[in-house]
């Protein structure tokens, strides 16, 4: 397999698992993250396992940084077939207490980041008349979340952006979809929980609405990159019912 994928948030809990899983399938991986150290670690681990990965530092909210990420991927591999926008942040804070900067920070990374990375991907993919763009939204984007309204609003934005971009890119044979994992055990999902509260969450069996397992997300992404979904676009896939 010669396909190349950029995974933003590639050093994170979900992103790193995705990088490892897709590398094992034979894809070439650009592990893109704000944390250069984290991206280096994931890429080195993949290379050690005998697959191909390159680390790149990126700030997804900065257009110059996103352009440099695309350039580096094209310099390294000559092409980019897929872009997975996985970088994201959240914090728990009530709207009445939320500083404007906190709203802007979450919107900039979660929503503008998806816009900038998708835009850069589309510009590269349109002349080739092929490509797939995936983003991580969240069930919070449809169900809401108290003390994380900025996060929920950013993810609702990702869902609407995905539908809109899918319509724009369909004539160019490029699909655009979003995945919503459900609560998954990563540093992000522990925010706002005590270790005791999180342990209780962990004890709920997955089939009874417990935590999403990371390999479920990798499996869904594999499906969305497969030939079986070549005509699937503008969709948002939920691994758990948003509540
Ligand atoms: N964990 C969950 O329960 C859950 C549920 C639904 C959706 N999500 C979404 O999944 C995605 C991955 O989350 P995770 O749980 O793996 O969290 P995580 O905190 O483990 O990973 C997020 C990664 O994004 C990176 N990042 C942050 N700001 C960045 C920037 N400006 N530019 C580039 N990279 C940046 C971080 O360095 C980190 O490696 C996020 O978009 C999150 O909103 C997570």
Question: Which sequence spans correspond to the domains of the chain?
Answer: 4-184+214-237
Question: Does residue 69's CB lie within 6 angstroms of at least one atom of ligand 1?
Answer: no
Residue percentage of the chain with pLDDT more than 70? 100
Mean pLDDT of the chain: 97
Mutate to test the pocket of ligand 1, among 10, 11, 14 (most ligand atoms within 8 A of CB): 14
Name the pLDDT band for 1 (thresholds 50, 70, 90): low
Please, is 15 exposed, middle or buried when counting C-beta atoms within 10 Å of its C-beta (0-12, 13-18, 19+)?
A: buried
* Rounded Cα–Cα distance for residues 95 and 215 (Å): 34
In 3D space, the residue among 187, 174, 138, 145 whose CA is nearest the CA of residue 159 turns out to be: 138
- The hierarchical CATH code for the domain 4-184+214-237 is 3.40.50.720
Confidence at residue 57, expressed as pLDDT on a 0 to 100 scale: 98
| Per-residue confidence band for 2, with pLDDT thresholds at 50, 70 and 90 | confident
Atom of ligand 1 nearest to the CA of 151: 43
Q: Once rounded to an integer, what is the mean pLDDT over residues 105-115?
A: 98
Distance CA 148, CA 60 (A): 21
What average pLDDT does the segment 163-175 reach? 98
The SS3 of residue 45 is helix
Q: Which of 13, 188, 218 to mutate to test the pocket of ligand 1 (most atoms within 8 A of CB)?
A: 188
The predicted model scores a pTM of: 0.98
If you average pLDDT over residues 232-239, what whole number do you get? 98
| Residue nearest atom 26 of ligand 1, based on CA coordinates | 87
- Provide the pLDDT confidence category of residue 166 given band limits of 50, 70 and 90: very high
């Amino acid at each position: 397999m010669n396909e190349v994928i950029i995974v933003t948030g590639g050093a994170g809990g979900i992103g790193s698992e995705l990088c490892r899983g897709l590398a094992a399938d034979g894809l070439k991986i650009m592990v893109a993250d704000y944390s250069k150290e984290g991206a280096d670690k994931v890429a080195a681990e993949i290379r050690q396992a005998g697959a191909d990965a390159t680390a790149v530092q990126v700030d997804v909210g900065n257009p110059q940084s996103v352009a440099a990420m695309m350039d580096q991927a094209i310099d390294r591999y000559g092409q980019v077939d897929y872009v997975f926008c996985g970088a994201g942040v959240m914090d728990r804070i009530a709207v009445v207490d939320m500083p404007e900067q906190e709203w802007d920070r979450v919107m900039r990374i979660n929503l503008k980041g998806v816009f900038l990375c998708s835009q850069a991907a589309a510009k590269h993919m349109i002349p080739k008349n092929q490509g797939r763009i995936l983003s991580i939204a969240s069930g919070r984007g449809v169900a809401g979340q108290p003390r994380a309204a900025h996060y929920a609003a950013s993810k609702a934005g990702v869902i609407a952006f995905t539908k809109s971009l899918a319509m724009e890119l369909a004539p160019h044979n490029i699909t655009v979809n979003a995945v919503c994992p459900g609560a998954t055990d990563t540093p992000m999902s522990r925010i706002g929980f005590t270790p005791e509260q999180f342990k209780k969450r962990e004890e709920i069996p997955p089939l009874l609405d417990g935590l999403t397992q990371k390999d479920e997300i990798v499996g869904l992404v594999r499906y969305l990159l497969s030939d079986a979904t070549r005509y699937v676009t503008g969709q948002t896939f939920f691994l758990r019912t948003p509540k």
